[in-house]
Amino acid sequence: MKGADAEARAAAHLLGLGREILARNYRIPGGEIDIVSREAGEMLVFTEVRQRRQTRYGSAAESVTPRKLALMRRAALTYLTRELGRDDLPCRLEVLTIDGAAETGAIGLLDVLE
């Protein structure tokens, strides 16, 4: 499965930060959230995982388009309403990047600003 190694490393990294993983690969028609987690307290975090082995076409962070962010927002809202029954919970979107090999590349976390 494409991206499975990067997503597994990302999930392990988030667990190491003390997060609880609530869902992986949450899909809706036209969108997906790679990882849904909860930080200490009640903050939900919707994480897109991006990995680039080489920088020939840009970094992992540069591969996130405005369209992808819009689809993430839609999938996050759907998760909140379908799975939790409300859309007013504290949450945020982030992108976890891996530049280099999935197993050894540099990890970065970028908050998505609304």
Chain segment 4-55, per-residue pLDDT in tens: 899 999 999 999 999 999 999 999 998 899 999 999 888 999 999 999 888 7
Domain span including residue 17: 4-111
Confidence of residue 63 (pLDDT cuts 50, 70, 90): confident
- pLDDT value for 56: 78
114 pLDDT higher than 70: no
pTM above 0.85, yes or no: yes
Residue 64's domain is classified under what CATH number? 3.40.1350.10
- pLDDT value for 53: 85
Helix residue ranges, H only, the chain: 4-16, 66-84
Q: Number of folded domains in the chain?
A: 1
Tokens 């997060």 correspond to what residue?
Answer: 19
